[in-house]
Structure 1
Amino acid sequence: MSDSNLNEDVEEELSLCPSTLAALQEFYAEREEREKLEKSVLDNEILFDENWQLSQFWYDDETIKKLTKGAIRSTENNARIALVSCPTLYKSVKNVCGDREVTLFEYDQRFRAFGSDYVPYDYNDPLNFPHKLIESYDLVIADPPFLSEECLTKTASTIKSLTKGKILICTGAVMKELAEKLLNVTKCKFEPSHRNNLANEFWCYSNFEFDKALK
Structure 2
Amino acid sequence: MSDIDSDDDVPALSAETLAALQEFYDETSSSTPSDQFTVGAVEEDWRMSQFWYSDETATRLAEEVVREAGEGGRIACVSAPSVYQKLKQGSVVGSDRVSAVVLEFDRRFSTYGDDFIFYDYNEPLSLPDDVAPKSFDVVLVDPPYLSEVCLSKVSETVKYLSKGKVLLCTGAVMEKLAGELLDVRMCSFLPKHNRNLSNDFRCFVNYPSRLLS
Q: TM-score, normalised by structure 2?
A: 0.79
* RMSD, matched Cα: 2.1
Q: How many correspondences in the alignment?
A: 181
Q: Quick one: distance in 1 between partners of 2:125 and 2:32? A: 27
Residue 144 (structure 1) aligns with: 143
Matched residue, 1:171: 170
Q: Distance in 2 between matches of 1:120 and 1:38?
A: 25
Q: Deviation of residue 70 (structure 1)? A: 0.9
Q: Secondary structure at the match of 2:207?
A: coil
> Quick one: structure 1 residues 45 and 202, their matched pair in 2 at CA, closer, same or farther if it must change by over 3 Å?
closer
1:129 matched residue in structure 2: 127
Residue 74 of structure 1 aligns with an amino acid whose one-letter code is E
Amino acid in structure 2 at the alignment position of 1:180: G
Contact 1:186–1:206 under 8 Å retained in 2:
yes
Give distance in 2, aligned partners of 1:151 and 1:38. 36
Q: Is the 8 A contact 2:39 2:86 kept in 1?
A: no
The structure-2 alpha-carbon separation of the partners of 1:37 and 1:107, relative to structure 1 and needing over 3 Å to count, comes to farther
Q: How does 1:204-215 map to 2 (within 5 A)?
A: 204-210=203-209, 212-213=210-211
User: Cα deviations across residues 94-133 of structure 1 (Å, max 9, x unaligned)?
Assistant: 2242231101000111111111100000001111112442
Q: Secondary structure at the match of 2:144?
A: coil
* TM superposition shift of 1:86: 0.6
Give the gaps of 5 or more residues in structure 1.
Answer: 1-32
String of CA shifts for 1:64-101, please: whole Å, max 9, x gaps. Answer: 11101111111211000000001111121122422311
Find out whether 1:64 has 2:64 as its counterpart. no
The code of the aligned residue for 2:54 comes to D
Relative to the length of structure 1, the TM-score reads: 0.78
Deviations 1:10-33 (A, max 9, x none): xxxxxxxxxxxxxxxxxxxxxxx9
Mapped partners of 2:32, 2:85: distance in 1: 10
**Which residue of 2 is the match for residue 41 of structure 1?**
36
Tell me, yes or no, if the aligned pair for 2:39 and 2:85 is still in contact at 8 Å: no
Give the conservation status (yes or no) of the 8 Å contact 1:73–1:213. no
Deviation (angstroms), 1:180: 0.4
User: Is the 1:85–1:143 contact (alpha carbons within 8 Å) kept by the matching residues of 2?
Assistant: yes
Residue 214 (structure 1) shift: 5.3
2:158 — aligned with what?
159
Name the SS for the 2:197 alignment partner: coil
1:124–1:74 distance in 2 versus 1, CA, 3 Å? same
> In structure 2, do the counterparts of structure 1 residues 149 and 90 end up closer, same or farther at CA, with 3 Å as the change threshold?
same
**CA distance, structure 1, for counterparts of residue 151 and residue 115 of structure 2:** 23
Counting helix residues as a fraction of each chain, which structure ranks higher?
A: 1
Q: Distance in 1 between matches of 2:204 and 2:212?
A: 14
